[in-house]
Amino acid sequence: NAGVTQTPKFQVLKTGQSMTLQCAQDMNHNSMYWYRQDPGMGLRLIYYSASEGTTDKGEVPNGYNVSRLNKREFSLRLESAAPSQTSVYFCASSPSTGPPGNTIYFGEGSWLTVV
Amino acid sequence: SQQGEEDPQALSIQEGENATMNCSYKTSINNLQWYRQNSGRGLVHLILIRSNEREKHSGRLRVTLDTSKKSSSLLITASRAADTASYFCAPFTGRRALTFGSGTRLQVQP
């Protein structure tokens, strides 16, 4: 059982380049999330999808776009990467955004460096 | 903001000692969750306590919740070197997805 799978694991981008982080979960969860974590910091919510077909902004959505491709997959796109987007990105999922199913399951992270 | 604030930011103890971490939050909650993050890994859910519960146990973990003070604590008894990690609380207000604070970095010295 893979849980939440993110790709790529590591990526180096030049300023202005674009890229998409892919995420898939195999737990039949309705809700999916993208967080970023800067060195020594906590996690900040970028976007989330409460259910298939819906997406909502989190705390730090600027510079990002998301697509809930289907129930399993939730991608994060950086259209024009900036050094300030250097971070570790975590995809996560949960049965729902609210109780009783809002325990979140995280992927292993994608390390992104923008030079 | 619905995120919790963990205290202390860092904690260093000897193996076998107890570790206590605190979480404060600002608004009414439906439940509060604690997560652990080992270095370089994703967060892992530890325990959930509902707003109508005051204490919950899971193995060596004990969580308390005081809704009147808007605070929670996580106690790890008989700490092991493997408990070295960052610990995050996540209060859920019912309005949006879970958000996280900066965490408590626990170092357990063997």
pLDDT value at residue B96: 77
DSSP B39-86: TTS-EEEEEEEETT-SEEEETTEEEEEETTTTEEEEEE-S--GGG-EE
The percentage of chain B sitting over the pLDDT mark of 90, rounded to a whole number, equals: 84
pLDDT band at residue B2 using 50, 70 and 90 as cut-offs: confident
Inter-chain residue contact A105 with B96, CB threshold 8 Å: no
Mean pLDDT of chain B: 94
Q: Does A108 touch chain B (CB under 8 A)?
A: yes
Nearest-CA residue of chain B relative to A55?
A: B97
Report the gap between the CA of B14 and the closest CA in chain A (Å). Answer: 22
pLDDT value at residue A21: 98
Say which of B30, B88, B96 has its CB closest to residue A42: B88
Q: Which residue out of A21, A31, A43 would a mutagenesis test of the B interface target, given it has the greatest number of B Cβ atoms within 10 Å?
A: A43
CA distance readout (Å), B43 to A1, A105, B76: 17, 8, 17
CA distance readout (Å), A52 to A49, A68, A93, B70: 7, 6, 12, 34
Residues 6+ apart with CB under 8 A from B56: B47, B48, B49, B62, B63
pLDDT band at residue B94 using 50, 70 and 90 as cut-offs: confident
Inter-chain residue contact A99 with B31, CB threshold 8 Å: yes
Nearest-CA residue of chain A relative to B42?
A: A108
Q: Does A99 touch chain B (CB under 8 A)?
A: yes
Helix or strand or coil: residue A85?
helix
Q: Is residue B68's pLDDT more than 90?
A: yes
pLDDT band at residue B93 using 50, 70 and 90 as cut-offs: confident
B20-38 pLDDT per residue, tens: 999 999 999 999 999 999 9
Q: Is residue A57's pLDDT more than 80?
A: yes
A22-55 pLDDT per residue, tens: 999 999 999 999 999 998 788 999 999 999 999 9
pLDDT band at residue B1 using 50, 70 and 90 as cut-offs: low
Residue B82 CB coordination number (10 Å): 10
Q: Does A104 touch chain B (CB under 8 A)?
A: yes
Q: Does A97 touch chain B (CB under 8 A)?
A: yes
